[in-house]
C-alpha cells in the first residue's frame, strides 16, 4: 500500500475515534446531570453531589485531552495528504505522542486546561455554582 492510502485509513480510524470521544463526553455530562438530580431527590448532602460533579468534570477533561491528541494527529495527517508525496510514515499516533509527551505535571496541567474549556465546563460549573448558592441560601 502506498503512503497516502495508509494515511487515509489512519485518518478514517482516528476521525471515528474522535467522534466517539465526543459522544462519550456527552454521556458523561448526561450521567452527571442524572446523578445530580437523583442526589437532590434523595436529599444527599451538597458536598457529595458536588464531589460527583467534580469527578465527572475531571473525567471529561481527561477524555478531551486525549481527543485533542487525536486532533493533532488528524491535522498532521491532513497536512501530509495535501502533499504530492508524503514523507512521513502512517500509523504513528503513539510514536508521535511518546515523542511529545509532557511529564506528569504537564499531563495533569493539560487535563486541567481541557476541563476549563467552556464546552467542557458547561454544565459542571453551573451545577457547582447552583449547589453553592443553594447551600448559602440555607445558611441564611
Q: What's the Rg (C-alpha) of the chain?
A: 20
Q: Which long-range contacts (CB under 8 A, 24 or more apart) does 87-93 make?
A: 88/3, 89/3, 89/6, 90/3, 90/6, 90/7, 90/9, 90/10, 91/6, 91/10, 93/10, 93/14, 93/69
**Could you list the pLDDT tens digit for every one of the 140 residues in the chain?**
688 888 999 999 999 999 999 999 999 999 999 999 999 899 999 899 999 999 999 999 999 999 999 999 999 999 988 888 767 678 888 888 888 888 899 989 999 999 999 999 999 999 999 888 877 767 66
- Taken in order 28, 29, 34, 38, is the CA torsion positive or negative? positive
How is residue 105 written as a grid cell?
505535571
Domain count, the chain: 1
| Cell numbers describing residue 74 | 488528524
Question: What pTM, to 2 d.p., does this model score?
Answer: 0.84
What lies within 8 Å, CB to CB, of 67 at 6+ separation is: 18, 21, 22, 25
The domain in which residue 23 lies consists of 3-139
Amino acid at each position: 500500500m502506498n503512503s497516502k492510502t495508509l494515511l487515509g485509513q489512519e485518518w478514517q480510524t482516528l476521525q471515528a475515534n474522535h467522534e466517539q470521544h465526543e459522544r462519550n463526553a456527552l454521556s458523561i455530562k448526561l450521567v452527571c446531570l442524572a446523578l445530580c438530580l437523583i442526589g437532590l431527590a434523595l436529599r444527599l448532602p451538597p458536598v457529595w453531589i458536588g464531589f460527583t460533579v467534580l469527578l465527572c468534570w475531571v473525567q471529561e477533561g481527561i477524555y478531551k485531552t486525549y481527543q485533542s491528541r487525536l486532533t493533532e494527529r488528524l491535522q498532521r495527517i491532513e497536512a501530509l495528504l495535501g502533499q504530492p508525496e508524503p514523507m512521513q510514515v502512517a500509523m504513528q499516533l503513539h510514536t508521535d505522542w511518546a515523542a511529545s509527551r509532557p511529564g506528569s505535571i504537564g499531563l495533569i496541567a493539560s487535563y486541567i486546561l481541557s476541563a476549563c474549556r467552556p464546552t467542557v465546563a458547561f454544565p459542571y460549573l453551573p451545577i457547582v455554582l447552583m449547589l453553592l448558592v443553594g447551600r448559602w441560601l440555607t445558611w441564611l
